[in-house]
Amino acid sequence: MVIKQDTPMITTQNLTRRFGETLAVDSLNLEVYPGEVFGFLGPNGAGKTTTVRMLTALIAPSGGTAFIHGYQIGKHDMDIRRTVGLLTETPGLYDSLSAERNLKIFAQLYDVPDADAAVQKYLGMLGLWERRSDPAGTFSKGMRQKLAIARALLHEPDVLFLDEPTAGLDPEASRLIRDFILELRSLGRTIFLCTHNLDEADRLCDRIGVFKTRLLVVDSPARLRSQIFGRKVVFHLSRLDHGWVDLLAKLPFIEEVAVQNEKIIITLAEPEKYNPEIVRILVNAGADIQFVGELRRSLEDVYLRLMKESN
């Protein structure tokens, strides 16, 4: 659900960061809108964490600037810290303290008006209320991650930055975290999600940006797939006549026709518009169409293609 409004929640303008001679983030220009789940994908060392640290006012940029909910980094850092919630790569909990105490410390640091109620709300939402008195050090990896997410949400931030929220978790814990992100999404939170998990990005994100020191592309996962690979429709036939392929190749809206066993694979821009016409042509030519489907490329294919091109 993208509630696209005029004012972006996050805007970066040529945001750049160098560490000595190393260019970590190169002229990043990006807009993330309220209520959007934005996936930030890239390989290790691409500069994703550095970007998140700049956007959460933890480190300063070397060049360019960014605005979070209208607050400019470097000028309104304290306002930005109050506006955003951050889940760091590692949960960073106080292991000897109870889950409740861990959250209460941060509720107080963020001046949450009713700290106890906020702590209870999020421990309850994440299924940790029963374990509230246990030291965080006794929690499983998944529970620790949930506790860290609760900590990031206590002050009801406008933007939530999640850096690898499911990294190192087992499938069950990952699922729990993903479901919770979906719940947050349904509540209209703006989420900036850094992840290596492309399937996760595909399922959760409204748009994704593929990043490797510089931003390679930004779009919705579906549009990226069609942009990179084109949209392909597969016509499964009971038998194949190559005359039909020649017939289809002459149609102006078809970009490419390929054959695989008894299947005809057609690349075209608008399948919704032209599929009925293709079906009619094939049926009139005597083809028995068993079924028609879209050949979906995974986001992983898109990502790997982009990485290859960037190299």
* Least distance from other proteins to the Cβ atom of residue 109, Å: 4
Instruction: For the chain, count helices (H), then strands (E).
Output: 11, 14
Q: Report the Cα–Cα distance between both ends of the chain, in Å, rounded.
A: 34
Cα 182 vs. chain centroid, distance in angstroms? 11
User: Applying CB under 8 A, which residues contact other proteins?
Assistant: 19, 53, 56-60, 78, 81-82, 84, 86, 88, 90-97, 101, 105-106, 108-111, 113, 148, 151-152
CB of 88 to other proteins, least distance (A): 5
Phi-psi region of 221 (alpha: psi -120 to 50; beta: other; left: phi over 0): alpha
Q: Which is nearer to other proteins, 82 or 305 (CB)?
A: 82
93 vs 193, beta carbon nearer other proteins: 93
The distance of closest approach from Cβ of residue 101 to other proteins in the complex, given in angstroms and rounded to an integer, is: 6
Q: 7 vs 22, which CB is nearer to other proteins? A: 22
Considering the complex, state which of residue 76 and residue 263 has its C-beta at the smaller distance from other proteins: 76
Cβ 19 to other proteins shortest distance, Å: 7
Q: How far is the CB of 152 from other proteins (least distance, A)?
A: 8
Q: Residue holding tokens 């083809």?
A: 287
SS3 letters for 66-123?
EEECCEECCCCHHHHHHHEEEECCCCCCCCCCEHHHHHHHHHHHCCCCCHHHHHHHHH
Backbone angles phi, psi at 20, to 5 degrees: 65, -120
Strands 207-212 and 37-41: parallel
Residue whose C-alpha is closest to residue 217's, from 54, 39, 8, 6: 39
How far does Cα 221 stand from its chain's mean position?
A: 9
User: Which of 18/263 has CB closer to other proteins?
Assistant: 18
**Minimum gap (Å) between residue 95 Cβ and other proteins:** 6
Nearer to other proteins, 148 or 282 (CB): 148
